């Protein structure tokens, strides 16, 4: 399983990246960004991905940052999963990150793989794709033509298919951070630790004055071609008490179809399991929101 031949380009600046990408597009040549490579290179070794040109951005140190000073978390293109994992303050603040990040592959993958790379790669079971939806994220695209922002809800169009144009690089991703009366949680069900999930559920609960749910976000993965926010459930949750009884009731409204059978689980199992873990995610989010308020 040796990667097919490709042209290797090592830019030293973002401008050079833009140049390499737009030149590729103009010459009808497929160019891909190489950041962590933890998703792309295995596909190249299988010869399932065959970019003509790899643009290695690892020299552009200025892209390795993350910044959570204000109400949002901004993550540069070279920020590794491990950089976030090691930010104890941030992880303590956002329960969903504490839950999800340790489940991204394994330690060696997290030390090299990047948050933005995961979003750009577009695997519909990747944790960051769901987290972007859960935390009202946006993706900042950059090219010779300038920059534009794509909200998380419009980002993933299908398996490995994002809203990015061929000549654009994701320069940064941004996530809004929960407030003081908010609780978040992320629950994955996988056959083994570190595997891609069978299904996952992300929950965000903002509690109102009397402990009822002011607003909710529920992100589901594994029961459709891409993760999505279940707006039906979100509306059912609004105004309700944040209790197990509420949660057990609202999950009746989960979609009953959309998942596929595969070697790891049946579609029917996924639809059964998503109900179970959505309740668990909501309960944890509720508990965290309640704990915060005390």
Partner 1 sequence: MSGGAEGKQIRPIRTVVNGAPIEGTVPVRQSLADWLRDGLGLTGTHLGCEQGVCGACTVMVDGEPTRSCIMFAVQADRSEILTIEGLAGTGDSLHPLQEAFSERHGLQCGFCTPGMIMACLGYLNGEGPHSRSGLRRYLSGNLCRCTGYMKILEAVEEAAQQMGVSWS
Partner 2 sequence: MKAPFDVAHIGQRIVPRENRVLVQGKGTYVGDFRLNGLLSVAFVRSPSARARIVSIDVTEARSCEGVVAVFTADDLLGKIAPLRLMQENVPPGILRHPSIQVDSRPCNVPVLARDEVSHVGQGIAAIVAVDRASAEDAAELVRVDLEELVPILSADDALAPDAPRVDPTNADNLAARIQATFGDVEGAFADAARHLTVRVKSGRVSASPMETRSVLAQATKGVEGVTVWSSTQVPYLVRNAIAQHLGLREEDVRVIAPDVGGGFGAKVHVYPEEILLAFIARSLEQPVRWIEDRQEHFIATAHGRDQDHLIQVAFEDDGQIRGIRDHFVQDCGIGFPYPMSSAYNVVSHLQGLLEVPSMEIDGTCVLTNKVVNVPYRGSGRPESAFTRDRMLSRMARDLGVGFLDVLRRNMLTVEQMPYSTGVLYRDGEQIVYDGCDMKSALERLQAMVAEASVAAGQPALDGLGRQCLKGIGFGTYTEGTGVGPFEGAVVSVDEAGRLTVEAGGASQGQSHATTFAQIVADEFQVDPSEVLVRSGDTGFLRYGVGTFASRTTIVAGSAVVQAARKLRERVLNVAAEMMEIDQSDLLVQAGRVSARGAPSRSLSLRDIFVATIPGPRAVSAGQDLPGLREVSYFVPPTVTWSYGVVAAAVTVDADTGMVAVDKFWIVHDCGRLINPLVVEGQVDGALIQGLGAALLESILYDSNGTPLTTSFMDYLLPTAVESPELRHDHLETPSERNPLGVKGIGESGIIAAPSAVANAIEAALGELMTDPSPLDVLPIRPESVLASMGKDVSRRDSARS
Helices (H) and strands (E) in the chain, counts: 11, 14
Which among 206, 203, 204, 177 has a CA at the least distance from the CA of 188? 203
Q: How far is the CB of 171 from partner 2 (least distance, A)?
A: 30
Residue among 88 and 192 whose Cβ is closer to partner 2: 192
Largest CA distance in the chain: 62
Q: How far is the CB of 154 from partner 2 (least distance, A)?
A: 29
Site string for partner 2, 116-135 (x = CB under 8 A): --------------------
Q: How far is the CB of 215 from partner 1 (least distance, A)?
A: 34
CA distances 293 to 68, 88, 156, Å, are: 21, 20, 35
> Binding of partner 2 at residue 273 (CB under 8 A)?
yes
Which of partner 1, partner 2, none lies near 253, with the C-beta cut-off 5 to 8 A by kind? none
Sign for the CA dihedral angle at 23, 25, 26, 29 comes to positive
Residue-wise burial string across 80-108, b where 16 or more C-beta atoms lie within 10 A, e elsewhere: bbbbbbebeebbebbbbbbbbbbbbbeee
Which of partner 1, partner 2, none lies near 105, with the C-beta cut-off 5 to 8 A by kind? partner 1
Sole window of 30-38, 52-60, 120-128, 256-264 interacting with partner 2 (rule: CB under 8 A): 256-264
Give the binding site for partner 2 (CB under 8 A): 1-5, 46-47, 189, 191-196, 244, 261, 263-269, 271-273, 276-277, 279-280, 283-284, 287
């Amino acid at each position: 399983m040796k990667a097919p031949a490709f042209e290797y380009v090592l830019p030293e600046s973002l401008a050079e990246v833009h140049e390499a990408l737009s030149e590729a597009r103009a010459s009808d040549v497929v160019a891909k960004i190489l950041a962590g490579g933890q998703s792309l290179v295995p596909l190249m070794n299988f010869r399932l991905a065959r970019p003509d040109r790899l643009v290695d951005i690892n020299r552009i140190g200025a892209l390795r940052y993350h910044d959570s000073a204000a109400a949002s978390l901004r993550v540069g293109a070279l920020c590794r999963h491990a950089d976030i994992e090691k930010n104890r303050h941030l992880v303590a603040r956002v329960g969903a990150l504490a839950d999800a990040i340790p489940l991204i592959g394994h330690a060696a993958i997290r030390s090299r793989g990047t948050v933005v790379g995961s979003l750009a790669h577009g695997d519909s079971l990747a944790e960051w794709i769901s987290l972007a939806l859960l935390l009202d994220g946006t993706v900042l695209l950059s090219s010779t033509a300038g920059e534009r922002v794509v909200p998380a809800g419009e980002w993933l169009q299908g398996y490995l298919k994002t809203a990015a144009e061929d000549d654009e690089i994701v320069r940064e991703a941004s996530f809004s951070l929960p407030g003081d009366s908010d609780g978040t949680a992320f629950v994955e069900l996988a056959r083994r630790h570190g595997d891609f999930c069978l299904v996952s559920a992300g929950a965000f609960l903002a509690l109102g004055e009397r402990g009822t749910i002011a607003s909710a976000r529920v992100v589901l993965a594994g029961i459709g071609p891409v993760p999505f926010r279940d707006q039906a459930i979100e509306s059912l949750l609004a105004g309700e008490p944040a209790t197990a009884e509420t949660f057990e009731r609202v999950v009746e409204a989960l979609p009953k179809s959309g998942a596929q059978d595969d070697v790891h689980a049946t579609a029917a199992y996924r639809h059964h399991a998503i109900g179970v873990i959505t309740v668990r995610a909501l309960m944890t989010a509720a508990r965290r929101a309640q704990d915060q308020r005390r």
